[in-house]
Amino acid sequence: MPAVAVVGMQWGDEGKGKVIDLLSESAGHIARAQGGNNAGHTVVVSDKEYRFHLLPSGILYPHTKCYIGGGTVIDLKSLLGELETLRRYGIDFKNRLFISPYAHIIFPYHRLLDELSETVHSIGTTKRGIGPCYIDKAARVGLRIADLIYQDTFADKLAKTLHLKNRELVKMYGQPPLDIEDVLTEYRTYAAEIVPFIAPVEEMLYRASQNGEKILYEGAQGSLLDVTFGTYPYVTSSCTIAGGIPSGLGVGPTNINRVVGVAKAYTTRVGNGPFATEFSQDEMQFFPDHIAAREIGVTTGRKRRIGWFDVPMLRHSIHLNGADSLAIMKLDILDELDELKICVGYQIGSQKIRNFPATIEELAAVQPIYETLDGWKSSIGAIRSYGALPHAARAYVRRIEELCEADVSLISVGPRRDQTLWLDRFFGEELK
């Protein structure tokens, strides 16, 4: 029985939330392995829009069990806010949400340090404290979800780490130190609400897998934001590729049977860093505006940068993830364009670049080589089968398949669940 990893192939915001929600209808378990509330995953059901930051996007179905894995970093206040929103929507999550004791906790000093470090070396982060929390994890001074259970040792550990962090705040940034009692009081109230959700996530997923139950692994961010293989240093601080799932959830790599790579029919990026196929101002004029295209960041409200579909990037991501198939999202956003460009390769001067650049200097220097295809100039949002798509839209998808040497298993033509064309290639009957 397949366990499917759903991962972003570009710079995040590809539409992973929609794909996870679709596949959750027939999956029992949905798990997040990495990242935190820097993620923003949107699910649209009829006219209602749900936005998830840390909660798995499969939580809307009453039959699912949802897990937040040991590789994540958790902002407790933000998570409690998400749970409050679920309550308001009347979604019952009792006995359906499980948090690993191994996950690390984001503290106010992480958010502060994220914001302050942006003034010195701007990555364009979400300022959610993600990087500083992972720094503390690697430096072995972080506090974990398990620490919430033991109040006295929690206070001792926090005091030691806060001493270090206050030195950084005061000496490096000239900021006032944080008061331990304030932080303790705040976090004790969160602890009371969070502790009931702590569970042996790793063992639970092992059992589910042994019983042949369907599991979805929900990637956050995108492959080009991976801390090792992304466009470093303009990346996030976790492993965002499929290989990060086993280490972030404590499951064996053989537990992942399929990897679905989610990609937009074009490219977007929020935050800084090189973007080879980014639109010129002229090109931007022909594209729907950011609101119509739903290209405003879910977490920070920033406008996303937009550009053409980038095959060298996709091939790189497909290989890094071992993606079995692609979900091509937001094809409808290209409806009005007279012609579409696909970047089929890179060159610097007259020299063709064979492999995706490992440095941002090289990526910033490449000139994209484009191929131009006809637009379809009609609305495809109401189309429900691949065969009914306009000829030019099918040609566009087929060309992506050909150039990427990958099969497309799903095409999305709108944000809602029903605006989905299934190509029946790799999900297999069991998962639909």
Q: How many CA atoms lie within 13 A of 275 on its CB side?
A: 22
Contacted by 29, from ligand GDP, Mg ion, ligand IMO, none: CB < 5 to 8 Å by type: none
Per-residue tokens: 411:
């095409």
**133 vs 148 by CB, closer to ligand IMO:** 133
Q: Which is nearer to ligand IMO, 242 or 393 (CB)?
A: 242
Q: Which is nearer to ligand GDP, 109 or 427 (CB)?
A: 427
Residue selected from 330, 376, 403, 409 as contacting ligand GDP according to rule CB under 6 A? 330
Based on the shown chain and the rule CB under 5 A, indicate whether residue 40 belongs to the binding site for Mg ion: yes
Considering the complex, what minimum distance in angstroms separates the CB of residue 126 from ligand IMO?
3
Is the Cα torsion angle 140, 108, 104, 258 positive or negative in sign?
negative
Nearer Cβ to ligand IMO (218/332): 218
How far is 425 from 422, CA to CA, in rounded Å?
8
* Single-letter code of the amino acid located at 246: P
From the list ligand IMO, ligand GDP, Mg ion, none, which binds 237 (C-beta under 5 to 8 Å, kind-based)?
ligand IMO
Measured in whole angstroms, the distance separating CA 212 from the mean position of its chain's CA atoms is: 26
CA separation for the pair 329, 293 (Å, rounded): 12
Contact residue for ligand IMO among 24, 34, 72, 236 (CB under 6 A): 236
Do residues 22 and 411 touch, judged by C-beta distance below 8 A? no
For Mg ion, which is the closer residue by CB, 13 or 75?
13
Q: Which does 307 bind (CB under 5 to 8 A by kind): Mg ion, ligand GDP, ligand IMO, none?
A: none
The H-or-E segment that residue 263 falls in is strand 258-264
Question: Burial code of 147-180, b = ≥16 C-beta within 10 A, e = fewer?
Answer: bbeeeeebbebbeebbeebbebbeeeeeeeebee
Establish if 53 lies at the interface with ligand GDP (CB under 6 A): no
Pick one of 131, 142, 250, 375: the residue that binds ligand IMO (CB under 6 A): 131
Structure tokens at 288: 């729907």
Which of 329, 393, 400, 431 is the binder for ligand GDP (CB under 6 A)? 329
Under the binding rule (CB under 6 A), the answer on residue 423 touching ligand GDP is no
The answer to whether residue 12 forms part of the interface with ligand IMO (CB under 6 A) is yes
Alpha carbon separation from 285 to 66, 279, 306, 337 (Å, rounded): 41, 9, 12, 10
Altogether, the residues listed in the chain come to a count of: 432
Q: Restricting to residues 249-278, which ones interact with ligand IMO according to CB under 6 A?
A: 270-271
* First-to-final CA distance of the chain: 13
Which residue lies nearest ligand IMO, judged by its C-beta? 271
CA atoms 157, 163, 168, 173: torsion sign:
positive
Tokens representing residue 375 in the block: 């637009």
**Residue 9 CB, nearest approach to Mg ion (Å):** 13
Nearer to ligand GDP, 73 or 191 (CB): 73
Nearer to ligand GDP, 275 or 346 (CB): 275
Regarding 237 and contact with ligand IMO (CB under 6 A), the answer is yes
Q: Which is nearer to ligand GDP, 102 or 275 (CB)?
A: 275
Q: If you search the block for the tokens 């999305």, which residue do you land on? A: 412
* Contact partners, residue 66, CB within 8 Å, separation at least 6: 29, 30, 31, 55, 56, 58, 59, 93, 96, 97, 98
The verdict on 20 binding ligand IMO (CB under 6 A) reads no
**Binding segment toward ligand GDP, per CB under 6 A, in 21-29, 112-120, 226-234, 410-418:** 410-418
C-alpha 193/C-alpha 238 separation (Å) is 27
- Half-sphere CA count of 423, side-chain side, radius 13 A: 21
415 binds ligand GDP (CB under 6 A): yes
Considering the rule CB under 6 A, would residue 106 count as an interface residue with ligand GDP?
no
Out of 32, 41, 96, 315, the only residue in the binding site for ligand GDP (CB under 6 A) is: 41
3-state SS of 55-68?
CCCCCCCCCCEEEE
Active site residues: 13, 41
Which of the ranges 128-136, 137-145, 173-181, 408-416 carries the binding residues for ligand GDP, by CB under 6 A? 408-416
Residues facing residue 359 across a β-bridge? none
Residues 59, 208, 333, 410: which binds ligand GDP (CB under 6 A)? 333
Q: Which two three-digit tokens encode residue 274?
A: 């090189």
At residue 233, φ and ψ (nearest 5 deg) are -90, 5
Binding segment (CB under 6 A) for ligand IMO, from list 39-47, 55-63, 144-152, 164-172: 39-47
Binding site for Mg ion (CB under 5 A): 13, 40, 298
Binding site for ligand GDP (CB under 6 A): 8, 12-18, 40-42, 44, 294, 298, 329-330, 332-333, 412-415
Binding site for ligand IMO (CB under 6 A): 8, 11-13, 38-41, 123-126, 128, 130-131, 220-222, 225, 234, 236-237, 270-271
